Chain A
């Protein structure tokens, strides 16, 4: 049984985001890039399912320019058995990404797509659900716990009201939330070994995917800044300051 894990290269979560002065986007030149943290969780879950013998193959897929190969190398170091790079230099819309992943899913005869619930750059939280819609298969988003048993999966979802349990038949899409697992630290030998694994290259055109109508980003601005507040000396002063704001 094959699982696909979609992985995205994003600005590392520890980097302080700087908006370009001309409003054309955020600074990414010379900035540390990493695998999207939610995709790391998805990758870890796939590896654990493989270790438990629930799945046999893990195919990591990314869409983007040449540098995205680094992200696939990370996925291979985690334990992906195959990596596919859908080469595209443009800005990929979530619906286009979903069409591409759906095409790979069908081509590979996969049973499961495990994706991060969202990427921490565009924060869209769309792609996994869109893949499930395009393939007309089950989806379980915001997964906090996944049990795969043959062709079924029981997923505990972290919804606003609490924990919701769904039982789904495979093929299916699962999107990983923060609590699903704690990704392992990659070991140097695994990282070295991953460098020697060939990566399969393809394009949207090869997959027969047409790009979706684009939502254009017109302007990027920094968020409103918080003005620096006051520093108080004692607990009594703190309570007085809170009272002045009507908060105590």
Chain B
């Protein structure tokens, strides 16, 4: 039987919502599931994790060295606990992506990144080429480290009551790494990567000033704002707004592509959007091939009208 260790990402004493999705992937693997909380004081996070369905046990390793999410400190602690486990699962967040390979290398075992479907304890699907192809992979015998693609799993419910146990780990903070600070995003707009709705503008906007029409519309419907690479390269908006293969890969419920032709590299970033709306004056633009709803027209008249009416 599989013995699965799920690493609990947390911040400010709260369990990351992605952990409930990792548990959904764990239940597909099947076996005994243990959640590991590493923190300076993990009691509150452990209590939250203990409620999640499918959890057999929660281990809490409290140490001053684990106060901040520093991979060089977390990895040795995880390696210590991971002995005897067949699978070590992380959420596919920047946290999981940072720490998981450090654990895998220390264990001398492979990592499978971005698991989107589980066929068995050793067979998984994962996207490659920014989701333009899906591979089925077979893991070798022995422990495997996995990061779970959160957009592919539905969170488990919180109706359980697992036991919480303390575990001691002999970790000291690495002298070579000092955690300085976290600046949380100050933008009043929803974060591009977790927003339910995203409005993106492309080259057709023509200037930085003209992007106001995109921002106004996004603010009206409470959406995050993105841009095509062409718009970023033209200097209309900063790099961090780029949606696409070399920018951010997003999966909102509703996506508006405005004045975006639909280059392959952009489409790779929006494949998982539930509904795509395209507004473009070129009826032949490739974006219309993937759009659920298309409107051929001049964005400078269409978008303000949409802003007023929605």
Asked whether, in the complex, the Cβ of B306 is within 8 Å of the Cβ of A239, the reply is yes
B200 within 8 A of A: no
When C-beta atoms are compared, the residue in chain A nearest to B70 turns out to be: A166
Which of A131, A217, A222 meets B136, CB within 8 Å? Answer: A217
Given contacts A13-B245, A238-B295, A239-B310, contact A166 B136 (CB under 8 A): no
- Number of B residues near A (Cβ < 8 Å) is 86
> Are the C-beta atoms of B177 and A168 separated by less than 8 Å?
yes
Q: Which residues of A contact B141 (CB under 8 A)?
A: 213
A172-B176, A215-B138 as given contacts; A126 in contact with B113, CB under 8 Å: yes
Does A218 lie at the interface of the complex (its beta carbon under 8 Å from any beta carbon of B)? yes
| A26-B129, A133-B75 known; A165+B181 contact, CB < 8 A | yes
Q: Is A247 an interface residue (CB 8 A)?
A: yes
B193 within 8 A of A: yes
The closest CB in chain A to the CB of B98 belongs to: A141
Query: Contact residues of A with B, CB < 8 Å?
Result: 11, 13-17, 19, 26, 37-38, 93-95, 98, 120-134, 137-139, 141-142, 154, 157-169, 172, 178-179, 182, 212-223, 226, 228-239, 241-242, 245, 247-248
Given contacts A123-B127, A166-B177, contact A219 B110 (CB under 8 A): no
Interface residues of B (CB under 8 A from A): 11, 70-72, 75, 93-95, 97-106, 108-114, 123, 127-142, 174-185, 193-194, 238-240, 242, 245-247, 253-254, 263-265, 271, 275-277, 288-296, 302, 305-306, 309-310
Contact of B264 among A15, A154, A168, A233 (CB under 8 A): A15
| Residue pair A247, B180 in contact (C-beta under 8 Å) | no
Residues of A within 8 A of B305 (CB): 235
Known: A16-B264, A162-B184, A178-B240. 9 other contacts (CB 8 A): A14-B264, A120-B245, A129-B100, A130-B105, A139-B177, A161-B182, A161-B184, A163-B183, A165-B183
A235 and B302 form a contact (CB under 8 A): yes
Partner of B239, one of A141, A178, A230: A178
Q: Which residues of A contact B302 (CB under 8 A)?
A: 235
Q: Which 6 A-B pairs have the closest CB atoms?
A: A129-B101, A229-B292, A133-B105, A130-B105, A17-B132, A165-B180
In-complex Cβ contact of B137 among A130, A134, A213, A215 (8 A): A215
In angstroms, Cα B274 to Cα A226, docked, is 10
A247-B309 contact, Cβ under 8 Å, with A178-B239, A223-B131, A229-B292: no
Name which of A16, A93, A247 has the most chain B CB atoms within 10 A of its CB: A247
Q: Which residues of the other chain, A, contact B238 by a CB distance below 8 angstroms?
A: 179
Q: Which residue of B lies closest to A233 (CB)?
A: B295
> Contact between A230 and B129 (Cβ–Cβ < 8 Å)?
no
User: What are 18 A-to-B residue pairs whose CB atoms are below 8 Å?
Assistant: A17-B129, A95-B111, A120-B245, A126-B111, A129-B99, A141-B94, A141-B98, A159-B94, A160-B194, A162-B185, A164-B182, A165-B183, A178-B247, A179-B238, A214-B110, A214-B140, A215-B112, A242-B293
Q: How far is the CB of B17 from chain A (nearest CB, A)?
A: 11
Q: How far is the CA of A73 from the CA of B309 in the complex (A)?
A: 55
CA of A66 to CA of B12, assembled, Å: 50
Q: Which residue of B lies closest to A241 (CB)?
A: B293
A235/B309 in contact, CB under 8 A: yes
B112–A218 touching, CB < 8 Å: no
B102 and A139 contact, CB distance less than 8 A = yes
Q: Give B251 Cβ to nearest chain A Cβ, in Å.
A: 13
A187 and B181 CA atoms in complex are apart in Å by 39
Q: How far is the CB of B129 from chain A (nearest CB, A)?
A: 5
Contact of A229 among B75, B94, B110, B294 (CB under 8 A): B294
- How far, in whole Å, are A94 and B181 apart by their CA atoms in the complex? 30
The answer to whether B133 touches A19, judged by C-beta atoms less than 8 angstroms apart, is yes
Known A138-B177, A169-B175, A238-B277; contact A222-B133, beta-carbon cutoff 8 A: yes
A178 contacts which chain B residues (CB < 8 A)? 239-240, 242, 246-247
Evaluate contact between A95 and B183: CB separation under 8 angstroms.
no
**Contacting residues, chain A, for B137 (C-beta < 8 A):** 215-218
Judge whether B140 and A213 touch: CB under 8 Å.
Answer: yes
A163 contacts across to B, CB distance below 8 A: 182-183, 185
Contacts of A245 in B (CB 8 A): 275, 292
- The docked-state distance in angstroms from the alpha carbon of A201 to that of B66 is 42
